[in-house]
């Protein structure tokens, strides 16, 4: 007996996920993948029942329309081209980076679900976040070839429910709160937190004053704390070369805590500094699943994009922070020849044709390919139209993020520029 259309679709999606992520442990990957699928199906049922009091029939068509448009109408994205391009008006959904891709979307589903179901106490939220991290989108190679956790903390959901209390929790004074609001208010990581989580984080922060010249973090050490700068400036050194400086409102020290990896840089106080430290466990429980969600979700994907393969974890993390997701139906226009170029794109999944006026199709793009760089690199109008040929999810970078973050690969992008004579493709 042949497979039904839906079974074919499911298997195709599964196959695409395996090909995309090239998991080192296929059994574990598959277990996670199908758990996510089940979870997704359950949630769809629940949300449908909550809405209509009628369970939906589970077909792919129902599922994708629910996932992509159902509850997210407020997130519908207006195409930058829609004013003058009738083809694009109904096609783009700007949404969580996780949307649509069945394996990766679980993060956002869980977060939303958590808010509905949990009591909303800070601890519940922390635990739920960690739970979703634990069995959902931790990249399969999350800890591969890296040193293991310093504290060896376990994240068993049941332990968390009852056992975990933030180690350094202490209610801040009014004066401290005012200062924190000022410094933390500037840090985008904290703006992603709901009120309870923010309060929990604030009361878990420890004040640390250091004098000019103090080594706050040493490259190669194990990670213990995440830092936010309230006053002063700090310098970053990689292999003894200074790579950057940052000041009030900025944060550092997240990489080692995220990836259980050695510190990637040395951090020195360039002036006397007032810092706030967050312990690793609270960081992982609260910030990781909220503020660094995109990094975790895009980690594997960005690693598998050939053009980015030479970047460091830090460089890729910065790109992930800046990415936005757009979803296009088959046949819709992603960029239009002659328009002003605003964004650069990676294809997360799907396919697209590159079409030049008067010439026809000049290239076919697939998963992991990029486009939209020519206009940005050369300050030109769009040199071709890019049209989705199947449902296509793209991750996009705005022009300034493109210029700021893709510096290290600009030469390669230029070399590959398809509009240059003799480009190597
Ligand atoms: N170019 C860079 N490479 C790596 N880490 C950097 C860089 N610039 C700043 N940092 C920060 O320096 C921190 C050192 O500790 P972590 O590796 O935990 O996290 C690192 C980043 O937050």
**Which atom of ligand 1 lies nearest, measured to the CA of 261?**
17
209 labelled ligand-binding: no
112 labelled ligand-binding: no
pLDDT tens-place string over residues 250-270: 999 999 999 899 999 999 999
Question: Which residue's CA lies nearest to atom 13 of ligand 1?
Answer: 253
d(CA 251, ligand 1 centre) in Å: 10
Residue 223 pLDDT > 60, yes or no? yes
pLDDT at 403: 87
Pull the structure tokens for residue 248: 């009030």
Pull the structure tokens for residue 326: 């757009």
Least confident of 155-159, 163-167, 257-261, 358-362: 155-159
Length of the chain: 425
pLDDT at 198: 87
The separation between the first and the last C-alpha atoms of the chain, rounded to the nearest angstrom, is: 43
d(CA 342, ligand 1 centre) in Å: 29
Q: Is 298 in the pocket of ligand 1 (CB under 6 A)?
A: no
Q: Is 223 in the pocket of ligand 1 (CB under 6 A)?
A: yes
**Average pLDDT of span 71-79:** 25
d(CA 248, ligand 1 centre) in Å: 16
**Average pLDDT of span 97-102:** 35
Residue 79 pLDDT > 50, yes or no? no
Q: Does the model's ipTM exceed the 0.90 cut?
A: yes
**Average pLDDT of span 290-314:** 87
d(CA 229, ligand 1 centre) in Å: 14
113 labelled ligand-binding: no
**Average pLDDT of span 127-137:** 36
**Average pLDDT of span 84-109:** 33
Q: Is 229 in the pocket of ligand 1 (CB under 6 A)?
A: no
398 beta partners: 343
Could you tell me the pLDDT band of residue 354, with boundaries at 50, 70 and 90? very high
Q: Is 379 left (phi over 0), alpha (psi -120 to 50) or beta?
A: left
**Average pLDDT of span 119-130:** 35
Mutate to test the pocket of ligand 1, among 189, 218, 255 (most ligand atoms within 8 A of CB): 255
CATH of domain 174-285: 2.60.120.10
pLDDT at 57: 41
Pull the structure tokens for residue 331: 């046949």
Q: Is 295 in the pocket of ligand 1 (CB under 6 A)?
A: no
Q: Is 317 in the pocket of ligand 1 (CB under 6 A)?
A: no
Mutate to test the pocket of ligand 1, among 236, 292, 295 (most ligand atoms within 8 A of CB): 236
Q: Is 236 in the pocket of ligand 1 (CB under 6 A)?
A: yes
d(CA 310, ligand 1 centre) in Å: 17
Residue 148 pLDDT > 70, yes or no? no
**Average pLDDT of span 200-225:** 95
Could you tell me the pLDDT band of residue 2, with boundaries at 50, 70 and 90? confident
**Which atom of ligand 1 lies nearest, measured to the CA of 256?**
18
The Cα 80–Cα 334 span in angstroms is 9
pLDDT at 244: 95
The CATH number of 294-415 is which of 3.40.50.300, 3.20.20.450, 2.60.120.10, 3.30.420.40?
2.60.120.10
- For the entire predicted model, the pTM comes to 0.61
Per cent of the chain over pLDDT 90 is 38
Q: Is 228 in the pocket of ligand 1 (CB under 6 A)?
A: no
pLDDT tens-place string over residues 303-351: 888 888 888 999 999 999 899 999 999 999 999 999 999 999 999 999 9
pLDDT at 151: 33
Q: Is 256 in the pocket of ligand 1 (CB under 6 A)?
A: yes
The Cα 217–Cα 266 span in angstroms is 5
The Cα 58–Cα 41 span in angstroms is 7
pLDDT at 293: 84
72 labelled ligand-binding: no
**Average pLDDT of span 277-302:** 88
Domain residue extents for the chain? 18-71+98-163, 174-285, 294-415
pLDDT at 208: 96
């Amino acid at each position: 007996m042949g497979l039904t259309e839906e079974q074919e679709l499911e298997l195709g999606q599964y196959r695409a996920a395996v090909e995309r992520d090239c998991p080192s442990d296929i059994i574990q990957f598959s277990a996670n993948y199908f758990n996510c699928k089940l979870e997704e199906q359950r949630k769809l049922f629940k949300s449908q029942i909550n809405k209509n009091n009628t369970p939906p029939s589970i077909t792919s068509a129902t599922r994708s329309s629910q996932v992509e448009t159902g509850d997210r109408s407020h997130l519908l994205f207006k195409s930058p081209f829609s004013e003058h391009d009738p083809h694009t008006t109904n096609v783009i959904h700007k949404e969580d980076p996780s949307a649509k891709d069945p394996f990766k979307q679980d993060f956002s589903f869980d977060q939303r679900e958590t808010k509905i179901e949990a009591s909303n106490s800070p601890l519940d939220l922390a635990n739920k976040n960690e739970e979703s991290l634990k069995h959902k989108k931790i990249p399969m190679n999350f800890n591969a070839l890296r040193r293991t956790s310093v504290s060896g903390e376990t994240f068993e959901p049941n332990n968390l429910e009852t056992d975990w209390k933030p180690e350094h929790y202490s209610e801040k004074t009014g004066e401290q709160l005012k200062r924190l609001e000022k410094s933390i208010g500037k840090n985008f990581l904290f703006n992603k937190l709901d009120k309870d989580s923010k309060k929990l984080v604030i009361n878990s922060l420890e004040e640390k004053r250091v004098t000019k010249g103090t080594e706050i973090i040493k490259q190669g050490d194990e990670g213990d704390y995440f830092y936010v700068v309230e006053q002063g400036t700090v310098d970053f050194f990689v292999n003894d070369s200074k790579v950057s400086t940052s000041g009030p409102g900025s944060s550092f020290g997240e990489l080692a805590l995220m990836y259980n990896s050695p510190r990637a840089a040395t951090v020195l106080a360039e002036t006397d500094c007032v810092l706030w430290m967050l312990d690793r466990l609270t960081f992982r429980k609260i910030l990781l699943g909220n503020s660094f969600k995109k990094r975790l979700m895009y980690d594997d994907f960005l690693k598998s994009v050939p053009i980015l393969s030479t970047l460091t974890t830090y460089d890729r993390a910065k790109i992930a922070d800046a990415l936005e997701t757009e979803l296009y139906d088959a046949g819709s226009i992603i960029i239009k020849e002659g328009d002003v170029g605003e964004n650069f794109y990676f294809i997360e999944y799907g396919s697209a044709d590159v079409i030049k006026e008067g010439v026809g199709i000049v290239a076919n793009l697939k998963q992991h390919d990029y486009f939209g760089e020519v206009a940005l690199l050369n300050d030109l109008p769009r040199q071709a139209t890019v049209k989705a040929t199947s449902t296509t999810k793209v991750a996009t970078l705005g022009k300034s993020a493109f210029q700021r973050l893709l510096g290290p690969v600009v030469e390669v992008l230029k070399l590959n520029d398809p509009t240059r004579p003799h480009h190597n493709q």
